[in-house]
Amino acid sequence: MKILIATLALAVGLLGSGCKELTPEDIAYSQKFRAQPTTFVLPADKADDAWSRALDFVNHYSGMQIQEVSDTMIKTYPPALDRYGYTVTRSNTKSGVRFTVICYGDTPPIPSNNAHIAALYIATGEEPRTISMDTCWHAVCE
């Protein structure tokens, strides 16, 4: 009974907020990025391309300027209100190169989602989907 009430409350809330329905492609992408770990290992021969994608992602999608870039870390300045900062690290392991993506911000669950989206792009090169601002990501991400 509690699940039914919670489901009804969510549905009413979404309808009342004017959110549009997510497309099947949006839902599939949401499932895909949430399945991507924010710490992952890539083969050494793929690491330099992935590191370039990490820098591209942080430059393009972070609301904050990059504070530090080295061979092992990309870090933005701490995020301001309604903006998101990133730290991406890489380190050598016996099985390849380990990447870790962290997104900082003050509006959960957005920083967690952003970290997963960045990790998917870094690991695979799959461009993030552009979604209209009136789409309710929280409907599928919470």
Per-run averaged pLDDT (10 residues), the chain, 142 residues = 33 45 86 96 98 96 94 95 92 98 87 94 92 43 38
What is the CA angle 50-109-27, rounded to 5? Answer: 70
22 CB-near residues (< 8 Å, 6+ apart): 30, 135, 136, 139, 140
Domains in the chain: boundaries:
23-141
Give the global pTM. Answer: 0.79
Reported residue count of the chain is 142
Confidence (pLDDT) at 110: 83
The domain made up of 23-141 has a fold known as TATA-Binding Protein (3.30.310)
Q: Identify the sign of the CA torsion 102, 97, 55, 131.
A: negative
